[in-house]
A and B are shown apart, each in its own frame.
Chain A
């Protein structure tokens, strides 16, 4: 498994990155941790004549919590997320999810930016970002712009990011209420058979708000507005969970693969989601 040859760049400024992207168009790709892109290049399924490594650019990693908003730099690794006590206090779902991604070595290298920007339906962060209603900060030749995570994914590997744009950070409001990230996989290092990200807030014993997204059950992450709505105003009992699951099942579209046939995936999606809701509610 040897990749095709490429030119390597390690610019030290974002201007440098953008200039290279402009020059080489779709022949260029930016590289963060590389754990999605490099295996694809080694299998010669991704052809990248110009590879732009972002590690030389200062300020792309780091986590800040300011005025109710969490900002995570694109080069922040899963390992950084797990180890950040302030983030875990403010948004515990982040570490809970990150611990279920790949394995220790991959989490040292794998970045939030790479995980969300690649558009791989198997990645966990996109669904989580949709659950948290995060916004993605992009920079390109036209300047900066922000895209909602819920609007970012078009289809597998196809996103709202243009070829000449770079994702610099994600931001989201400090979540309120209880959380859960529930994932079924065959083994450590596998993608999800089904995974669910759930945030629920509670007022007077009832669900005040709920946000629910699932992973690897469609060619994009699936944030189901209807699933969340099915919980609001209820006591999150069995009937409410059943309604939320039914709403989600209407929105997912899994395909058969080595993890199993569609009927199995739909069933497991429902079970995983039900458990995630129950756990999030118990923490709300």
Chain B
């Protein structure tokens, strides 16, 4: 019987790498049995709710909590005064700044947390919020970073020395009270020289608008202080639970072994759940004060108004080239609006994230990037919304600069990209702004994409459409959006990347059980990516046990090994690598056990799918299942019993996934309504672990890209009121607005990753935003458009047409 099982059957039985394995998470989610933070209900639990500032900038003259405290069912109303003795009225941000937990003297953005009400249920809490009386004195509001740098109004009085001087910030000198940092990469003088003497120069100013990750589940936490045992448990929407534990320990003084942080199921993160929010801190303090568990879950308006936004980058670029289209230099300056506190979630040494990947997929000899961070009266944040740190901004910048240069050169933008790609043989490639790209084969991917969509045919059709429009036969124009992107993900080498001094490694711990199943725990946490499915596949291929026999656990700091969490597409590049390395440690010990059982030398057995077999005698083997049992229950000379391994993985480099996207769009110039006719996405994420999951990630990331490019924004009026506070105005597309996508791939493995995987969750967003935007802008190119800013909602598209005289 045994012999009838072929090697292919054995490989298939593992459901390892490359298998479109169905997700193990889905049983509970499809039956309504997920366990999200708001599902947690503890005996005696109280509910917290915030009093928030209606003003964007105001001094707080007084806070009267008497009426609120008098309401039956109200247990406490916390203000900054209550937190100050504990040293908790301010907290560190991930960017090395500090942020008020509750307004201390003044408020700096609309929606800022002013007081925290704790009550028996959410209804009483909401009533009590209404009863807290706060007297404000309005101050001048600044919502524009350029005005902020010119203004006499000091937003952050806490960052000015008593003598009026401006002390250095976390990232060096500050040149104005409202200035946060200047960060530079590359060579300014050399770049200017090249550009000044270039044959062709194209310039563009672009605003990448403020938006928000807006996962369907808002942020929240439940804190439970067990005073009997001195243990604090904190459940919450945390993309990085171990970081939260360390920060909670530093803030509260409770030792880390007495804090358990749990990320239960998370209803989407997209960067929104990386940061530490006042709500988390207040729920902890309230539980310590009241001695009972306290839940805080924000509502949607609070989510959009106060927890981490994304983007808000004003980018100014110059790109130079020869007449033939060979790029010679790139200059970029960014004015970055960080809002009231610098709460960006970037590695410490990179206050503008990896914006210096902005030379893109092109061989650009010399470049310069300068970024100035600025305070304004807007919500803090600056997280990476479905991208590695600021990579969306970088890729948008270069992919727009390429299009503008193509216009300047009167050249096809696809051809311009081909001329300038980093060539396959140039990898590993060190870019002008410092990064070492691990691997790539851009031209092959590009050619495949252009062929798949019949690019030449599309251009011919577009030319016909332009002619028809000019003849007055149609009011619909056609755009062909191109983008070629290179991501930089998997932060990261600890030598480069830390957050608040915490190195960005990750981890995996495997315990093989005697009967041949396993439990593995990792320092990451899935928010929908399907880690329980895909990490088991990596391990199945490494350790030869079926993925179905491997349970993956994440998110509980009491059990999981320390890790830096899930964001920036780092789970597969870092924790996935840790899993593979831990698997290899298991395999190394299994080899010794197998050799002993087969009575041969260690070197005379070899691993084969699910077993170790004697070299040259494959009929003599021990399966991993047999080895697992023996490891525990058979005395093996010289070996400890058991089969466990831990790996902490510090990657030697980032990984650099890439892709080629094409969007075909029709635009009604009279109404400004775009219709997406076709979207083709080719992704190269190196080794593909689960094609089904990859495809799902691409669909989702493209849809978030569509939203950002075509309408999704956090908009403020001149006095700092948020104009887009509900899902009526904050654009999340429905099934009706979203097209079907065509997906494709090439495979260029990462040379330094143990299994060659690069990460994929964020690529479609990073590449998608410029692709959708380029489609809109390409449609208007024949009519004189150079650059228009996103979001391309109906009225802005209409405005573009109007500005080009197309309504005349």
Contacts and interface: CB of A to CB of B under 8 A. Distances in A.
Q: Indicate whether A and B are direct neighbours in the complex (CB within 8 Å).
A: yes
A188 B736 CA distance: 7
Interface string A243-284: 000000000000000111101100110011000000000000
Interface in B289-307: 299-301
B453 interface: no
Contacts of A186: 711, 731, 793-794
B734 A103 contact: yes
Interface string B3-38: 000000000000000000000000000000000000
Interface in A1-15: 1-2, 4-5
Given A260-B794, A260-B795, A267-B798, A5 B734 contact: no
Interface string B725-739: 001110101101100
Contacts of B727: 189
Interface string A1-38: 11011000000000000000000000000000000000
Contacts of A263: 802
Given A5-B127, A258-B724, A193 B794 contact: yes
Interface stretch (B366-374, B628-636, B665-673): B665-673
Contacts of A193: 794-795
Contacts, number: 66
B723 A2 contact: no
Nearest to A265: B795
B728 A184 contact: no
A189 B737 CA distance: 11
Nearest to B796: A260
B460 to A, nearest CB: 29
B82 interface: no
Summarize A's interface: helix, strand, loop or mixed: loop
A189 B732 CA distance: 11
Contact of A267 (B724, B728, B807): B807
Interface in B632-665: none
Contact of B671 (A5, A189, A268): A268
A145 interface: no
B671 A2 contact: no
Given A187-B734, A258-B729, A271 B123 contact: no
Interface string B269-306: 00000000000000000000000000000011100000
A267 B126 CA distance: 43
B160 interface: no
B736 A187 contact: yes
A273 B89 CA distance: 57
Name the residue in B130, B299, B724, B728 with the highest tally of chain A Cβ atoms < 10 Å from its Cβ: B728
A2 B670 contact: no
A187 B798 contact: no
Interface in A167-216: 184, 186-191, 193
A271 B669 CA distance: 11
Contacts of A1: 299-301
Contact of B126 (A2, A184, A258): A2
A264 B731 contact: no
B99 interface: no
Main secondary structure of the interface of B (DSSP, over half): loop
A272 B671 contact: yes
Contacts of B127: 2, 4-5
B204 interface: no
B729 A2 contact: no
Contacts of B733: 187
A263 B796 CA distance: 12
B715 interface: yes
B219 to A, nearest CB: 15
Given A2-B122, A264-B799, A268-B671, A184 B301 contact: no
A190 B799 CA distance: 21
Contacts of B799: 264
Contacts of B299: 1
B795 A189 contact: no
A193 to B, nearest CB: 7
Nearest to B798: A264
A267 B798 CA distance: 9
A260 B673 CA distance: 13
B122 A258 contact: no
A2 B795 contact: no
Interface string B110-137: 0000000000001101110010000000
Nearest to A184: B671
B795 A261 contact: yes
Nearest to B737: A187
A3 B435 CA distance: 53
A258 B715 contact: yes
A184 B671 CA distance: 8
A193 B671 CA distance: 10
A281 B727 CA distance: 36
A105 to B, nearest CB: 12
A268 B673 CA distance: 10
26 contacts: A1-B300, A2-B125, A2-B126, A4-B127, A4-B130, A5-B123, A5-B127, A184-B673, A186-B711, A186-B793, A187-B731, A187-B733, A187-B737, A188-B734, A189-B727, A191-B728, A193-B794, A258-B715, A258-B723, A259-B795, A260-B798, A264-B799, A267-B798, A268-B672, A271-B671, A272-B671
Chain A to chain B: the 6 pairs with minimum beta-carbon distance, closest first? A260-B795, A2-B126, A264-B795, A271-B670, A188-B734, A258-B729
Interface of A: 1-2, 4-5, 44, 103, 184, 186-191, 193, 258-261, 263-264, 267-268, 271-272
Given A5-B123, A187-B733, 16 more contacts: A1-B300, A2-B122, A44-B130, A186-B711, A186-B731, A186-B793, A186-B794, A187-B736, A188-B737, A189-B727, A190-B728, A260-B794, A260-B795, A261-B795, A267-B670, A272-B671
